[in-house]
Structure 1
Amino acid sequence: MSPKSMFGLALVAVGLLVASSSLYVVKETERAVLLKFGAVEEADVKPGLHFKVPIMNEVRKFDGRVLTLDTQPQNYMTVEKKGMIVDYFAKWQIIDVEKFYTATGGDTNNANRLMAQRINEGLRNQFAKRSLLEVVSGERDELMDKLTDDLDGFSRSSLGIHLIDVRVKQIELPQEVSGSVYNRMTAEREREAREHRSKGKEQAEFIMADADRQKTVIEAEAYRDAERIRGEGDAIAAANYANAYNKDPEFYTFVRSLNAYKKAFQDKQDVMLVDPNSEFFRYLKDAQGKQ
């Protein structure tokens, strides 16, 4: 290989080396700062391909996704001076790359340590204002929301971090107080259950009384309507009987006598003591009904 070819290859190698040292890529999931001799030259480098000057410039990249702070359980005291062991976690994300780099040196461990100190202090102050029952019961979510809002302002202004959420994973009580706390919680739930049962019984009695009243009204109205219809039917029947009697009184009397005979002699065991010459046997002696 000629000296000219060797020189050309050397130039290409140097060019590739310079290019590899001068070009860098920032991913969508990353945040980056461009430093010039250690000082911040570009605070928030956008994702994509970028150019830098070797030796003079340095690029520091950080994870731009939501990160988790998970610490060891801590001991806190309530307003009654009762201890508890609290295990919590926090979610945070870098929003100001320059401030984050300046405050933490770009080290997420330093960021976690600084935030853990403030969260521990905030939890200690919040728990010290509340009783053990309040901390264990439903006020815990309200407490954590307030703590998150308070600390988010500090983390934004001091660390360039958005504190998204702080949540308690577990609260363990000392053995000497756990029994009494659980007993108080059980008694409270039983009291609420009794109140619900009492209200339900009261409503049930009201519904039953209203149903009985409606039943009485419906039966009274039905009886009234039935009596009215029965009276109207009896009136129509009496009118029909009267019309039939007026048309042929003798035939009407004969039919009534036959019905009376049928009812009187429907059982073979019946015995009647009646004068044979009585009006009852009028049509048995004579089909014309003559005496």
Structure 2
Amino acid sequence: MHQPIVESRPRAWPRWSTVLPLLLGLVAVVAFARSIIIVDQTEAVYVTEFGRSVRLIDKPGLHWKWPYQSRRGFDKRLQLDSPPPREMLTKDKKNLEVAWYVSWRITDVEKFLRSVRTLPDASARVEDMAASVLAAELGGHELAGLVRVDRNSALDAMMTDVTARVAEQAGKEYGLQVVDVRLRRLNYPEEVRSAVFEQIRSERKKVAAKTRAEGESKARTIRSAADLERAKTVAEAEAEAARVVGEGEAEATRIANAAHAADPAFYQFLKTLETYRAALDNKTTLVLSAESDFLRLLTRGVADPAPTSSLAQKDKKRATKPEAEPEPVPRPASETKP
């Protein structure tokens, strides 16, 4: 059997009247998208035309440009760079490891675009600039003046000068505003740090030993002065006590003499009682003669039972006879002549 012969017809292409509008619409969408500029409040946008700057847009919002033009944004926020530490020398030839940070922002976008063009390039330029200025300033100060913690420390004044010099140079050359340059760390290099710390400890120990010696010397001086003052006070007190005791004893002797002169028998009686009280107690045993004067009061009693009456009689006689001579005081038997 013979198969029927099918004739092949040429493929029909779409008409230009359908494709052309699609192409034009796509081009219009692309052109519209390239004509829109959305500027954020944290950035500034430069419109460039074939690499040449045309205009600067620093206000946030929606803006327009030609489709063939390009946009280039720059961050206007504060930038913070913390470069790695570098070794620098002080005025007294101390090798230090210095770490710092720099905060800056773009103020003149046109000058920035002509000089550095990108943020990494600007960070590198500011870092080198700050390092050179900081090394120059650090070479004019001694280490002891920088690490002091009182008001006479030169560190704050030095960093203020560094910030001013870096800000002036960065503003003239790159259109940047350097807000602050501050130190993060100031230390000795790692390879000599232990030796330096050991030297500092030994110096501090010497100072501590000297201070302790001075303190001990002052303490001895104070103790000597206190001992001298104490001895002087004690001597004065003892002298005053001796004087008071002497006056008291003299007064007691005067009173005893007056009492003896007023009534010798009664005075002798009281003295004998005091002697008994001092010598005799529950544990005392005395072996004496019966004729002993010590026990005369106990064995014979009081010789004159009314001494006060005789004293009154004598006072009465003296009152009635004021011009009569006083009776002679009898002397003891031991003082009479044979």
Same fold (TM over 0.5): yes
TM-score relative to the length of structure 1: 0.63
1:98 aligns with 108
Measured after TM superposition, the shift of residue 152 of structure 1 is 1.6
Q: Percent identity?
A: 19
- Decide which of 118, 121, 134 is 2:129's aligned counterpart: 118
- Decide which of 181, 200, 204 is 1:189's aligned counterpart: 204
Measured after TM superposition, the shift of residue 254 of structure 1 is 0.7
Structure 1 contact 79–129 (Cα < 8 Å) conserved: yes
Quote the Cα distance in structure 2 between the aligned partners of 1:257 and 1:168.
Answer: 98
Quote the Cα distance in structure 2 between the aligned partners of 1:238 and 1:40.
Answer: 126
Q: Secondary structure at the match of 1:289?
A: coil
Measured after TM superposition, the shift of residue 58 of structure 1 is 9.3
1:153 aligns with 164
2:279 aligns with 264
Quote the Cα distance in structure 2 between the aligned partners of 1:86 and 1:24.
Answer: 43
- Decide which of 179, 184, 192 is 1:162's aligned counterpart: 179
1:89 aligns with 100
Quote the Cα distance in structure 1 between the aligned partners of 2:98 and 2:169.
Answer: 25
Task: Say if 1:121 and 1:245 are closer, same or farther in 2 by CA, change over 3 A.
Answer: same
Measured after TM superposition, the shift of residue 114 of structure 1 is 2.4
2:332 aligns with none
TM-score relative to the length of structure 2: 0.56
Structure 1 contact 85–173 (Cα < 8 Å) conserved: no
Amino acid at match of 1:117: D
Higher Rg: 2
Moved more, 204-213 or 115-124: 115-124
Quote the Cα distance in structure 1 between the aligned partners of 2:196 and 2:54.
Answer: 56
Structure 1 contact 122–147 (Cα < 8 Å) conserved: no
1:22-41 matches, cutoff 5 A: 26=41
1:71 aligns with 2:83: yes
Quote the Cα distance in structure 2 between the aligned partners of 1:106 and 1:251.
Answer: 131
Moved more, 198-207 or 99-108: 99-108
Quote the Cα distance in structure 2 between the aligned partners of 1:224 and 1:211.
Answer: 20
Measured after TM superposition, the shift of residue 163 of structure 1 is 2.3
Structure 1 contact 62–106 (Cα < 8 Å) conserved: no
Deviations 1:1-31 (A, max 9, x none): xxxxxxxxxxxxxxxx9xxx899785xxx6x
Q: Secondary structure at the match of 2:84?
A: coil
1:204 aligns with 219
Amino acid at match of 1:228: R
Measured after TM superposition, the shift of residue 257 of structure 1 is 0.6
Quote the Cα distance in structure 2 between the aligned partners of 1:75 and 1:249.
Answer: 110
Q: Secondary structure at the match of 1:150?
A: helix
Measured after TM superposition, the shift of residue 125 of structure 1 is 4.6
Which consecutive unaligned segments of at least 5 residues does structure 2 have? 1-31, 171-176, 305-338
Q: Secondary structure at the match of 2:276?
A: helix
Q: Secondary structure at the match of 2:76?
A: strand
Quote the Cα distance in structure 2 between the aligned partners of 1:235 and 1:101.
Answer: 113
Structure 1 contact 33–40 (Cα < 8 Å) conserved: no
1:281 aligns with 295
Amino acid at match of 1:69: D
What's the C-alpha RMSD, in Å, of the aligned pairs?
4.4
Quote the Cα distance in structure 2 between the aligned partners of 1:40 and 1:213.
Answer: 94
Q: Secondary structure at the match of 1:277?
A: coil
Task: Say if 1:108 and 1:207 are closer, same or farther in 2 by CA, change over 3 A.
Answer: farther
Deviations 1:108-145 (A, max 9, x none): 54443223212322454566678xxx75x774566754
Which consecutive unaligned segments of at least 5 residues does structure 1 have? 1-16
Quote the Cα distance in structure 1 between the aligned partners of 2:295 and 2:63.
Answer: 143
Q: Secondary structure at the match of 2:108?
A: helix
Q: Which is richer in helix?
A: 1
Amino acid at match of 2:167: R
Task: Say if 1:179 and 1:22 are closer, same or farther in 2 by CA, change over 3 A.
Answer: closer
2:314 aligns with none
Q: Secondary structure at the match of 1:72?
A: coil
Task: Say if 1:52 and 1:108 are closer, same or farther in 2 by CA, change over 3 A.
Answer: same
